[in-house]
Amino acid sequence: MVTAAELGAAVATHRTNNGRRGTIAVILLPVGAVVTGAAVLLWIVTAEVAARSIPSGADPELVPAAVLGLGIGMLLLGVLFAVAYHTHRDESFTVYENGLANVRPGRTFAARWADIDRVTVRPGKDNALSRWAGGDYYCLVTLADGRKVAINGLTENARQLIQLIQAHAPASGGPTGPGATPRP
């Protein structure tokens, strides 16, 4: 395992905006709870009205089910962002002359450029909400030993960071699209 001290001089540091993860969780959790509660009430009212109505070809519970799915989805996504908020505090990526390091509490990922097996870049949607939530850009760096580190749009200057990694990693061979460029 490589230490950051073995990677040479630091070239650039990119911090992750972890506070935004917390903000997203704080928004999604209560909104998801309200939407879920409203969907349950809507489902009860719809079932009561449908029981008293003449049956038709349409499913009266379709809308309440869709709203319930939306609420539960918001709750689950809120939990994921809350967990990421707590596990990625003070996360940063540092590019060194001879490699890359990712530091967050309880975990340090450091690798030489030659150890990178695959760089997978998946651009997300380019709209204001995706950029704000960090979903506009995603990259997974995989080492030959199987360790992985993910970089998303919440990391400052994520595109430039990924370009630096792709320029130095022997396996990347330049920018990648939806797939990956494995080591030859």
Look at residue 176 and tell me if it is in a domain.
Answer: no
Look at residue 27 and tell me if it is in a domain.
Answer: yes
- The residue ranking higher by pLDDT, 131 or 32, is 32
Verify that 101 and 82 share a domain, yes or no: no
pLDDT tier, 40 (very low <50, low <70, confident <90, very high otherwise): very high
Look at residue 141 and tell me if it is in a domain.
Answer: yes
Per the prediction, the chain carries an average pLDDT of 87
Verify that 78 and 140 share a domain, yes or no: no
Q: Give residue 171's pLDDT.
A: 56
Look at residue 181 and tell me if it is in a domain.
Answer: no
Q: What is the residue range of 22's domain?
A: 18-87
Verify that 28 and 51 share a domain, yes or no: yes
Q: Give residue 81's pLDDT.
A: 94
Residue 32: how many other CB atoms lie within 10 Å: 20
Q: Which two tokens stand for residue 1?
A: 């395992």
pTM of the model as a whole: 0.76
Give me the sign of the Cα torsion angle 128, 129, 134, 137.
negative
Q: Per-residue pLDDT tens for 112-160? A: 999 999 999 988 888 888 888 888 889 999 998 899 999 999 999 998 9
User: How many domains does the chain divide into?
Assistant: 2
Q: Give residue 108's pLDDT.
A: 86
Look at residue 127 and tell me if it is in a domain.
Answer: yes
13-27, 63-77, 120-134, 140-154: the lowest-pLDDT one: 120-134
Verify that 79 and 117 share a domain, yes or no: no
